Structure formats: C-alpha cells, structure tokens
Structure 1
C-alpha cells in the first residue's frame, strides 16, 4: 500500500503572456524545477494565469501560493483570490516585495559594473517597471524598491520609469549619462522587456540593451526557496 504524499506543496504563479502563453509557462516550470532542487522535501508546482486551465489544475487544499509578481497589485490582490476561491491556502509575499530582493539585485548590478570596468565610478541605473492605470501599488513597489536599493549601491543614480504611467521609461531614460544600466523590474521576460523597453531606450538615444529581467537574475530560485520556508514556519508558529 502506497503511503500518502505528505510533503508541503507550493505553487509558483505568474501572470504569463495571454498572446503567447507557452514560453512563459515553460520558463516558470524551469524556475520551479530549480526551487525543487533546493527543497527536495517539498512538491514545487508552477502555473501562469495566462495558460488556460493550468492554475486550477495545480491548485490543491493547503497549498502555499507564491506570487511571482513585482507588487501586491491587481493580479495578486484581485485576480488570484478569485481564482483560488474558498480553497484553503497560504499566500507568500510577492517576489518584488521580498526584503531580500534588494541585496540580490545589488549583487547582480555590482557584478555587471565590474564586468564593464566601472568599479569606483558613478553610473545611472534605470528601473524600468510596469506601473498601472488601475492603481498606485505597482509604481509604489518600484519606487520603494529603488529606495531600498540606494544604500546598497551608493555610486548609482537610481531612477524609475514605467510602461503604463508617468514618468515613462523614455522620459526617464533621457536623463541617463554615458555609464548607464537599465534593469527591467519584471518577474518574467515578455513583450515589455523584449520590445517596449528597448524601443523606449532607443527613442531616448540610449543604445545599450537592457539587462535581463529581475526575475531571471542569479539567486532568484534560492530567494523563493527561503521565502517558502519562512512562510511555512510562520504558519506553524500560528
């Protein structure tokens, strides 16, 4: 007789891309596999909200939902609860609000600065974020992240620009100097990071390509693993 699987279950979920759901779904599955390697005693699942039926298929009572989103905005605050319904669950902190994320990003930026030979020199860092016409939380998350990042990167002049609201990425990019980096403040790569952000930079006469999205930086899987462990410990204390 097979024993029941009593491992804790986590479901990493992201928005995905409605126009082409398969690539983001596959990318999220690869990230989930990396987290699974770090948490072998767990069941780590993944589903984007844009892939038809995927989220519902992976949802199970007692699951820890990990929102691979940059803010507690419309999707985390409204769409996810509707999709979950009355199924018992825990909700982890969204990726973009994790207190450990600024240090992860600072390490990646420091590495990039060293690779470019800029060590000891000041430079510009543009956080290219989504923003939202539905409410302030997306912009607040990006601006608060910039505030947390500044003491970790004292030589960086950090600015934010947005796809959906002012200041736009193009407007923010017009103030960049010769030494400049653009970090897409997104969990997954998609049309915004591959098309909209590069076009905005070009329109502002910035010809360097943006860095990879925040959610693809080294250490992301380890950050998620630690967040899931912390979420479970908090539930056990209660």
Structure 2
C-alpha cells in the first residue's frame, strides 16, 4: 500500500495506521453507493482541532442519506484530503463562494490526487440557511430570558481585506433573516473588516449570531473579545441542528441532477 501524506502534528489521524479505515469520516455505506465529502477550512496551525467536528457532521449527513458514503475533511489536514479517492461530490462547508471555494479547494484536492469531483454551492449560499438562523437566534434569546421583539440581533461574519464575497454573503444572510427572526433590529459586524464587531455593539438587550461554518478560533476567541459580554452568543450557524439536513438535501439534488444529465 502506498503510504499517505505525513500525519499533521496534533491530528487525530496520528492514531490511524495503514490498515485502519480512512481517518476522515464514517464512510461506512456500501462500496457501490454514492460517495461525497463535506470539506471545511480547518485550522492550519492546529490541523486536528476541527477534524472531529467535521467527522461528526459527516456522520449526521450519512444518517440522512442511506446507502451513501459521506466523508469529513479539512483543507488543513492533508491526510484527510488524500483519503477522498472515489468521492464524486464535495460540499464546501464554507460561508462564501470566494477564493477558497473557487480556487484553493480545487487546487488542494488536485495536489492530494483527488480529481473528477464536482463542488456544490457552499453552506453560506443555501436558501434555507436564513430560516435556520432565525430559529437559532430566537432560541438563544429565549434561553437567556430575552424577548427578541425588544432586542437587537447582531450577525457577525468573517469579512476580508481582500475580497468582497465574505461581507456580501453575510449581509445577504442578515437581510433575508431579518423579516422572519422577530428581532427589533438586525445589525452586521465583522472580524476582519469594518464595521468591526466591537464597533456595532448595541445598547440594550442583544444576541450575537456567528455567521461561521465551524467553531474555530474566530468563534472561540475573536468574537467573545469583540462582543464584550453584551449578551448571549449563539453557536456558529454551521454547527447547529438543521445544517445536516440542508447538506443532505444539497447532495441529493446534485446527484439527481448528475444522473439526469447522463
């Protein structure tokens, strides 16, 4: 057997051996079933940190797609990418359809020897995401004893100093969410471009909704620092209940489209 890439320091792949199952998701469906992957960014400085999270999500999606084989991988973990041979569809677990999805993901997959795959639209563009975000925001407010009708919801996105895509998709999400969320106001702030989160803190009751796919350092460190204890912080939208169903629906539709095209 040809050895895979070197194991990233601190990655759970370190426990895998050449005889083990691929260390990047359940992939327990029959070998003849459709194979797909959920691909997140991950943390380059700590490749193993988010691998369990994306694997757990892959298991949830696979439970909704009997007969499929669903892998979980991150760009930060070379070994998880190398294990995607046979995958036909890749779901970008990203919020924006920007450089990472359009350019870097295909490049990293090619370097790992993964060719002939088709990428779906990323999570952030899913038309069902605003309704899910509204539910998450209201539940977070309710758990803190806050009436959404008297509170401000602040959607915080990544932002970028190089691309407009991250800010644009965050604003579009907030705009679509506002009419159904039931909050008195919905504002938007960012981590890496103005208006920064710390500059849009409202007066009075407030809830923060991170427009992020995973629970990386921006979520665990930067958002709490910028939010300054203003009110409850919801879990990042990409980690919440309901996301697995959105992903499963996207993969199912993509495979049906592929079949109809011959």
Change (3 A) 1:163 1:214: same
Partner of 2:96: 71
Alignment of 1:26-105 (within 5 A): 26-60=52-86, 63-85=88-110, 87-105=115-133
- Which blocks of at least 5 consecutive residues in structure 1 are unaligned? none
- Could you report, residue by residue, the CA deviation over 1:155-202 in whole angstroms, capped at 9, with x for unpaired residues? 3411111111111111112xx122100011100011111111111112
Separation in 1, partners of 2:146, 2:70: 39
More moved, 114-123 vs 131-140 = 114-123
Whether 1:227 and 2:255 are equivalent positions in the alignment is no
Separation in 1, partners of 2:189, 2:178: 16
- Check whether the contact 2:148–2:182 (CA below 8 A) recurs between aligned residues: no
Change (3 A) 1:120 1:98: closer
Alignment of 1:131-210 (within 5 A): 131-173=159-201, 176-202=202-228, 206-210=229-233
Aligned length: 229
**SS of equivalent residue, structure 1 residue 53:** helix
- Check whether the contact 1:32–1:44 (CA below 8 A) recurs between aligned residues: yes
- Could you report, residue by residue, the CA deviation over 1:209-232 in whole angstroms, capped at 9, with x for unpaired residues? 422111111111111111111111
More moved, 117-126 vs 181-190 = 117-126
Q: Of 47, 51, 54, which residue of structure 2 is paired with 1:21?
A: 47
- Check whether the contact 2:153–2:186 (CA below 8 A) recurs between aligned residues: yes
For residue 107 of structure 1, report the CA deviation from its aligned partner.
1.6
- Check whether the contact 2:98–2:166 (CA below 8 A) recurs between aligned residues: yes
CA RMSD of aligned residues (A): 1.8
Whether 1:237 and 2:260 are equivalent positions in the alignment is yes
Q: Of 119, 123, 126, which residue of structure 1 is paired with 2:151?
A: 123
